[in-house]
Homo-oligomer: A and B are copies of this chain.
Amino acid sequence: MTSTARRTLVVAVSLFTLGSASVGAQATPLSSWNDGPTKRAIMTFVRTTTDRSSSQYVAPDERIATFDNDGTLWVEQPIYTQAVFALDRVGALAEEHPEWKSAEPFKSVLARDEAAVAKFSEADWEKIIAATHSGMTVEAFNDIVADWLAKATDKRFKRHYTELVYQPMLELLAYLRENGYKTYIVTGGGQDFVRAFAPRVYGVPPEQVVGSAGKTKFTYGPGGKGELLKSPDLLYVDDKTGKPEGIHLVIGRRPRAAFGNSDGDKQMLQWTQAGGGPRLMLLVHHDDAQREYAYGADSKVGTFSDALMTDATRGGWLVVSMKNDWRRIFPFDP
């Protein structure tokens, strides 16, 4: 080996180590968080609940942390990414469904009538989700989502949706895991939709994704092989009261820490706090129109109502100001 080759190798190894450090053990935890009361409160919670000599010590088995997804881990504006996916799927499936040309809500989607889509009711969206999220095996659906995410991009940022994740929250996920916390996603979005990218993007395995779920149907496919088909029927909605209910169903333990950003997360945080002892409740407040979005009670998605802010103040929940608490928003930010 020449001395240049050896030097190159040393540099490569160093870079590799640095590279691993950002996903694994962080030399400086939460480095994209500005110093301040929010960051300090998070670090104090983690330090005291993992220190055996502390009165706030929490046994490793009980270290459960639950994260909302839309607006807490990735961008949810101007509409939920899963809704964009569903609309694109209507287009992709239109040839197989000639009847959609004259049947709402599909007709408006195919006509790219954005004003009509913006006014879709819950029932309209349910029809669209049912039509685009069923009829295939669970593995085929996973592939469809993964393929779409690899191609589709957000209009404003010109980035893949999986790039529009919050760097400070990725660091928080990693920091909690380094300290023995099991990190779960608890989303009002589709469980199978989020499972298609959570392992790669968040380091969260499929069994730690709790979400709204359709029924599946076990049947025998080609060659008599057992398979699971996604059904258009809904099993449960993992939002609002459905969040603590979904947590009990899938996890069976009360979280020690819960993270959200909207009225849909209120009950998850309340249930977490009601467990008593050391608990961390945190809401992300979108107040940075320049780097991301600013919205509150007026928002169509991820509403952060004035009542929720009152609940947060009363409960002593942490409220993250994206503008002030986060040095970077996205992994691609300088």
Residue positions of A touching B, CB distance < 8 A? 61, 138, 182, 191-192, 195, 205-207, 209, 213, 215-218, 221, 225-228, 235-236, 241-242, 244-245, 248-253, 267, 270-271, 273-274
Contact = CB atoms under 8 A, between A and B. Distances in A.
Contact of A244 (B206, B228, B236): B228
A226 B250 CA distance: 18
A12 to B, nearest CB: 24
A213 B138 contact: no
Contacts of A267: 218, 226
B191 A252 contact: yes
Nearest to A244: B218
A316 to B, nearest CB: 15
A252 B209 CA distance: 9
Contact of A241 (B217, B242, B245, B250): B217
Nearest to A243: B218
Contacts of A215: 245
| Secondary structure type dominating chain A contacts | mixed
A239 to B, nearest CB: 11
A226 B195 contact: no
8 contacts: A61-B205, A195-B252, A207-B250, A216-B248, A216-B249, A218-B267, A227-B274, A235-B249
Contacts of A244: 216, 218, 226, 228
Contacts of A217: 241, 245
A58 to B, nearest CB: 15
B138 A248 contact: yes
A176 B242 CA distance: 34
Q: Please indicate which of the listed interface residues A209, A226, A235 has the most CB atoms of chain B within 10 Å of its own CB.
A: A226
Contacts of A253: 206-207
Contacts of A182: 207
Contacts of A270: 225-226
A327 to B, nearest CB: 32
A231 to B, nearest CB: 9
A192 to B, nearest CB: 8
A228 B271 contact: yes
Q: Please indicate which of the listed interface residues A235, A248, A251, A270 has the most CB atoms of chain B within 10 Å of its own CB.
A: A248
A200 to B, nearest CB: 12
